[in-house]
Amino acid sequence: MMHKLTEVKRVSNDLPYISEMGDFNSLPRPFRPSDLQSFFHYWFMYHPKYVENRQVIFNSFNNTPHTTQLVYFHDKAFALVQLIETTIKGVSIDVRVFEIGCVHQWQRTSVGTKTKLYCPICGTTDWYDSSD
């Protein structure tokens, strides 16, 4: 059964690193397996731009909807997928993490003390001040 928890809004101008937003039961694309350490590295360094809930169905995880939190940062997103298993011993909860978005090939250009990052694959740009 499909569950629509939130409206999926197209924010592609704001999130150029995503090529397809996907629907209520799938992940945005492209995506690849990641881990909690990578997610928390971003979580503690940057502020998320958007968060979203979906019920994602994975062929590899028993084909049922899994509660999934999508956390969109400025140049990538993460999906935190809750896996609940109920056995006679009790309930166990596990989390799988996916990294979502372009695998950027950053090109750097320096202008004074500022450095511009540009990915020619998806068009994502970012700036940082190298005098810090």
Contact flag: residue 122 with Zn ion (CB under 5 A): yes
Q: How many residues bind Zn ion (CB under 5 A)?
A: 6
User: Is 106 within 8 Å of 119 (Cβ atoms)?
Assistant: yes
- Give the chain's end-to-end CA distance (angstroms, integer): 51
The dihedrals phi and psi of 36, each to the nearest 5 degrees, come to -65, -35
Between residues 11 and 102, which has the closer beta carbon with respect to Zn ion?
102
Nearest-approach distance from CB 75 to Zn ion, in angstroms: 8
Nearest-approach distance from CB 19 to Zn ion, in angstroms: 10
Instruction: Give the integer Cα–Cα distance in Å for 130 and 70.
Output: 31
Contact flag: residue 119 with Zn ion (CB under 5 A): yes
Integer-rounded Cα radius of gyration of the chain: 17
Near Zn ion by CB under 5 A: residue from 11, 30, 48, 104:
104
Residues that bind Zn ion (CB under 5 A): 102, 104, 119, 121-122, 124
